Amino acid sequence: MKINKEINRRRTFGIVSHPDAGKTTLTEKLLLFGGAIQEAGAVKNNKIKKTATSDFMEIERQRGISVATSVLGFEYKTIKINILDTPGHKDFAEDTFRTLTAVDSVIVVIDVAKGVEEQTEKLVKVCRMRNIPIIVFINKMDREGKDAFELLDEIEQKLGLHVTPLSFPIGMGYDFKGIYNIWEKNVNLFTGDPKKDIEDTVQVNDLSTDEIDELIGTDSADTLREELELVQGVYPEFNIDEYKRGELQPVFFGSALNNFGVRELLDCFIEIAPPPRPKQSDIREIRPEEDKFTGFVFKIHANMDPRHRDRLAFVKVVSGKFERNKPYLHVRSNKNLKFSSPNAFFAERKEVVDEMFPGDIVGLHDTGTFKIGDTLTEGEILQYKGIPNFSPEHFRYINNADPMKSKQLNKGIEQLMDEGVAQLFTLELNNRKIIGTVGALQYEVIQYRLEHEYGAKCSYENINVHKACWIEPKDPKSEEFKEFKRVKAKFLAHDKSDQLVFLADSEFSLQMTQQKYPNIIFHFTSEF
Ligand code: GDP
């Protein structure tokens, strides 16, 4: 069957890291191997460098770049690889969390000198919650950094992973001689020449002979033997099933900038990383090889051109084959939709295509129909799960600054929220609107986009909210719940899907409230 063949050759993954660990550089080298780009520098770095900027054009420009690199598809050997971009900047963490619902595995990049950093911790935690298979790449081995064993320990401690090295460095920094590939049993010598190819690796099946001494010198050879013995003694043997269940994480070492250790990573990746996996919906688990198409929206991106307000919705194909011009059910609105120009994404371009398979990302033009999390099917009523909202970190009232444009403002707010730029809460008491974001930068983006895309003006006003919790009474008819609603009326709001939300003004008052109302459940994500 063609579809099985197509499914089995797809690898859809994300690269996650703290900013500056080398994600962009690694992505670019991976694309080079696929022949998808001709030269370095082609992958735009989409990180937002400043946390607060009043230079709106800069925000726009950076947003535009991030759409260009949202999905990078290329072929390597017989494998179709889709890399989904995951912004490392913390203000865009929610975008990254949502993208992680569309990947089948991830590669985590760690800087050898800095070790495990804050964003890496957060993102890996999300991957672990979903049992996503993880490969670790320790980058910048050409620089002085932490001792390999120390770093492996740190990764286990801080990230809660269970690692096993599949390659091991010979020296580091100034003395970096290369890596021993435990997976393929060969030595790749480091020359510092990024053009040097892996053809130059030397097969070393038996480390006890002096073949290795001749390559790297006796001292280094002895150290390597000792270290590999230690590796064998301390770390478990690699097991592909444990890796796929998210219970064991293989580790590679290299230097992305020098294109060193990257091919080893990629060759192992295409062999072990899982093809598209089944996905849970609200009614049943859907397998990729089912004949009927299903998919879900995990990202929406606005058009860069302010004259066209259309957007691009990114749909992950979960099962069956997506076809151009075939009607699909948009489950939330119960409407059939047809798409005449669905896009596929390649390294440097997007292109209209006729069919797409599980694991692929389809870009659909949208004039405001889609919302993040929406499901498309061939008629079955089901909804994919797993795109929750978390409590925002920042809260502000949003006010209309141009009374003549209130319609535009409301429309703009609604559409920006559908894109997942921020979360909207409407106070129960007086219908005032509150915008919650992960980072302060979003407020500027929203204000700018409301003005330029919708012709509306807004202003913000501070409000003291510490955290949003989604409320679920064990018994909605109970006296306790009625009292809660009456006493806490000032702090109650509805989110965009009309779920009841409690806006706690401090950690203390949240705890007091939880204690006082034991039969009300306070959820910290919107999906429960
Ligand atoms: P990102 O923020 O994770 O996408 O990181 P980048 O790929 O932009 O890399 C951050 C900086 O580290 C850039 O200046 C890179 O040139 C540099 N860099 C990336 N990989 C290496 C490496 O292997 N060795 C060294 N010395 N620098 C590297």
Residue 56 has pLDDT above 70, yes or no: no
Q: What is the pLDDT of residue 525?
A: 85
State the DSSP code for 375: E
Looking at domain 280-377, does it have CATH number 3.40.50.300?
yes
The whole-angstrom separation of Cα 301 and Cα 284 is 29
Using a 6 Å cutoff on CB, does residue 324 contact ligand 1?
no
For 62-85, write each residue's pLDDT tens digit: 555 455 557 889 999 999 999 998
Averaged pLDDT for residues 471-493: 96
**What are the domain boundaries of the chain?**
3-275, 280-377, 394-523
Using a 6 Å cutoff on CB, does residue 45 contact ligand 1?
yes
Q: What is the pLDDT of residue 199?
A: 46
Distances in whole angstroms, Cα of residue 378 to Cα of each of 10, 35, 363: 22, 36, 18
Using a 6 Å cutoff on CB, does residue 257 contact ligand 1?
yes
Indicate the helix (H) or strand (E) that contains 302. Answer: strand 294-302
For ligand 1, atom 16, which residue shows the shortest CA distance?
Answer: 257
On average, the pLDDT of the chain sits at 88
Least confident residue range of 84-88, 361-365, 420-424, 510-514: 84-88
Using a 6 Å cutoff on CB, does residue 21 contact ligand 1?
yes
Burial 304-326 (b: 16+ CB within 10 A, else e): eeeeeeebbbbbbbbbbbbbeee
Distance 486 CA to ligand 1 centre (A): 55
Using a 6 Å cutoff on CB, does residue 47 contact ligand 1?
yes
Q: What is the pLDDT of residue 94?
A: 80
Using a 6 Å cutoff on CB, does residue 17 contact ligand 1?
yes
Pull the structure tokens for residue 22.
Answer: 């080398």
Residue 349 has pLDDT above 70, yes or no: yes
Residue 195 has pLDDT above 80, yes or no: no
User: What is the strand order of the sheet 202-203 is part of?
Assistant: 167-170, 178-181, 186-189, 202-203
The whole-angstrom separation of Cα 328 and Cα 435 is 33
* Closest listed residue to residue 250, CA positions, set 167, 154, 163, 158: 163
Distance 507 CA to ligand 1 centre (A): 39
Q: What is the pLDDT of residue 66?
A: 52
Q: What is the pLDDT of residue 198?
A: 46
Quick one: fold of 394-523? Alpha-Beta Plaits (3.30.70)
The whole-angstrom separation of Cα 441 and Cα 91 is 7
For ligand 1, atom 17, which residue shows the shortest CA distance?
Answer: 22
User: What is the strand order of the sheet 492-494 is part of?
Assistant: 458-462, 394-400, 433-437, 423-427, 492-494, 500-504, 467-473, 520-523
Q: pLDDT band at residue 304, thresholds of 50, 70 and 90?
A: low
The answer to whether the pTM exceeds 0.95 is no
Distance 72 CA to ligand 1 centre (A): 19
Of 20, 96, 141, 144, the one to substitute when testing ligand 1's pocket (max ligand atoms within 8 A of C-beta) is 20
CATH superfamily placement of domain 3-275: P-loop containing nucleotide triphosphate hydrolases (3.40.50.300)
Using a 6 Å cutoff on CB, does residue 433 contact ligand 1?
no
Distance 21 CA to ligand 1 centre (A): 6
Averaged pLDDT for residues 425-434: 96
- Residue 451, phi then psi, degrees to nearest 5: -70, -45
Q: pLDDT band at residue 43, thresholds of 50, 70 and 90?
A: low
For 112-143, write each residue's pLDDT tens digit: 999 999 989 989 998 998 899 999 999 999 99
For ligand 1, atom 24, which residue shows the shortest CA distance?
Answer: 140
Using a 6 Å cutoff on CB, does residue 140 contact ligand 1?
yes
Do the two domains 3-275 and 280-377 of this chain adopt the same fold? yes
Distance 83 CA to ligand 1 centre (A): 18
For ligand 1, atom 22, which residue shows the shortest CA distance?
Answer: 140
For 383-400, write each residue's pLDDT tens digit: 998 777 888 999 999 999
Closest ligand 1 atom to the C-alpha of 19? 2
Using a 6 Å cutoff on CB, does residue 117 contact ligand 1?
no
Distance 88 CA to ligand 1 centre (A): 13
Using a 6 Å cutoff on CB, does residue 24 contact ligand 1?
yes
Q: Which tops the pLDDT comparison, 416 or 302?
A: 416
Averaged pLDDT for residues 418-434: 93
Q: What is the pLDDT of residue 190?
A: 85
Using a 6 Å cutoff on CB, does residue 256 contact ligand 1?
yes
Residue 308 has pLDDT above 90, yes or no: no
For ligand 1, atom 21, which residue shows the shortest CA distance?
Answer: 257
